[in-house]
Amino acid sequence: MNLSISPDKLNQLADEFGTPLYVYDANTIRAQVKKLAKAFSAFPVKFHYAAKALTNIHILQLIQKEGLGLDAVSIQEVQLGLMAGFAPENILFTPNCVAFTELESAIALGVKINIDSLPLLEHFGHKYGKKFPVALRINPHIMAGGNYQISTGHIDSKFGISIHQMRHVERLVQLFGIRVEGLHMHTGSDILDVDVFLRGADLLLEQALNFPELQFVDFGSGFKVAYKPEDPTTNITELGQKMAKRYETFCAEYGRAIDIHFEPGKFLVSESGYFLSRVNQVKQTTASVFAGLDTGFNHLIRPTLYNAYHHISNISNPNGQSKVYSVVGSLCETDTFAWDRQLPEVREGDILCFHNAGAYGFMMSSNYNSRFRPAEVLVDGKNFRQIRRRETLEDLLATQLPLESAVSAK
């Protein structure tokens, strides 16, 4: 797979900032925004960046300057979005199983609210009635996504209000005079089949006819990106064309035009990110040759958690003779990134580069084994800057209370 940042530049960054290191390419993010805008240009559309993919405030600010809104799933993401420059009205807060106080905090900040359960809707109605408009997250009961753990629209999912409970929703809306300004769904991530989106769209647009004050319908996202060479991706051009026909039919039946929203996260930042790690050891056993890195699933957990594939390049020795390695980490744990992976000869000290590391890489990192989380660097054309420093021992201790002096027994 091609690198949007040259191997020489990545090696330079690894030397300057140390490893492990996350590197993001600003121009790749901008290019993905343009692809979306072109694919869905046939109808009024707005994109909200799904912040959970990567919330470094420098990335948020870059995306805000591209004219996108923000999809936030925690009050902290809302606060970061506001700090990055997003206007409150351009932030949609879609929490799940949170305390009502978190919803109250978001309302006080003036952001848009998306409610995904009947108890929460009823609680909202009692306190706010028609004072504050809301959107509703609907679960269409569609199984979609590249892994069960990232499928969010099926019947056993905790997300959203069941589409079979809409009659109850209508009763609560009428009882409290709630102003419903949006309907929302999100069926999962890594969805390849355009028809999955269209089935969900048909269900959501059918429900929209029951809510006369809508300003938007939000179809979430889940567009698949390429993780392997020749990997298929979601055909967003085809989706845009077919959605345009459905939108035209809906508006004629609804009696006026409304906005369509999408919430891309991984699609925008995944391919922009590279994770760099240095080889500590090349260890041969009776069964395998291990390339042991200075990292582990504490820094990139997706292969362990989702069995996710990440393409790996040896950017220190790209023209070396091809050999087979199991790429592993340095944790006191089985932390295997890849079994039996063909790579140019790997030597101690080489830098291995993990592709597609922009989404959920740093965000899901931890201090397991009391290891420090990596630094982050943003490359913008010929320029680059560090946007997060590497943690230190002081950071690990910062939230821990100091040891108390021993008190002698009387």
Written as six digits, the tokens of 18 are: 């140390």
Residue 15: both structure tokens together: 């030397």
Q: What is the mean pLDDT of residues 251-267?
A: 96
DSSP codes, 104-125: HHHHHHT-EEEE--HHHHHHHH
Q: Which of 97, 251, 332, 353 is catalytic?
A: 332
Residue 177 reports pLDDT greater than 90: yes
Average pLDDT over residues 318-327: 98
Backbone angles phi, psi at 159, to 5 degrees: -90, 140
Residue 187 pLDDT grade (very low, low, confident, very high; cuts 50, 70, 90) = confident
Asked if 332 is an active-site residue, the reply is yes
The confidence score (pLDDT) of residue 225 equals: 93
Main-chain dihedrals φ then ψ at residue 158, nearest 5 degrees:
-80, -5
So what's the pLDDT on residue 329? 98
Q: Which pLDDT belongs to residue 407?
A: 53
Tell the burial category of 66 from Cβ atoms under 10 Å away from its Cβ (0-12, 13-18, 19+): middle
Query: What share of the chain has pLDDT > 70, as a percent?
Result: 95
**Stretch 265-287: mean pLDDT, rounded?**
97
* Average pLDDT of the residues of the chain: 93
Average pLDDT, integer, range 342-366: 98
The C-alpha atoms of residue 192 and residue 394 are separated, in whole angstroms, by: 44
Residues 111-154 have pLDDT tens digits of 999 999 999 999 999 999 999 999 999 998 874 444 444 344 44
Please determine, looking at this structure, whether the domain spanning 26-269 carries the CATH number 3.20.20.10.
yes
Question: What SS3 class is residue 311?
Answer: coil
Q: How confident is the model at residue 193, as a pLDDT?
A: 83
- How would you label 108-126 residue by residue, b for 16+ Cβ within 10 Å and e otherwise? eeebbbbbbbeebbbebbe
The model's confidence at residue 409, banded by pLDDT at 50, 70 and 90, is low
Q: Say what the pLDDT of residue 151 is.
A: 42
Per-residue pLDDT band at 405 (split at 50, 70, 90): low
Question: Would the pTM of this model clear 0.85, i.e. be above it?
Answer: yes
Query: What are the respective helix, strand and coil percentages of the chain, to the nearest 5?
Result: 35, 25, 40
pLDDT at 338 over 80: yes
CB atoms within 10 A of CB 57: 14
Q: What is the model's pLDDT at position 247?
A: 95
Per the CB < 8 A criterion, the answer to whether 338 and 312 are in contact is yes
| Mean pLDDT (whole number) for 67-76 | 98
Q: What is the pLDDT of residue 156?
A: 63
| pLDDT attached to residue 147 | 40
The fold adopted by the segment(s) 271-391 is: Lyase, Ornithine Decarboxylase; Chain A, domain 1 (2.40.37)
The yes-or-no answer to whether 26-269 and 271-391 have a common fold is no
Q: Please state the domain extents for the chain.
A: 26-269, 271-391
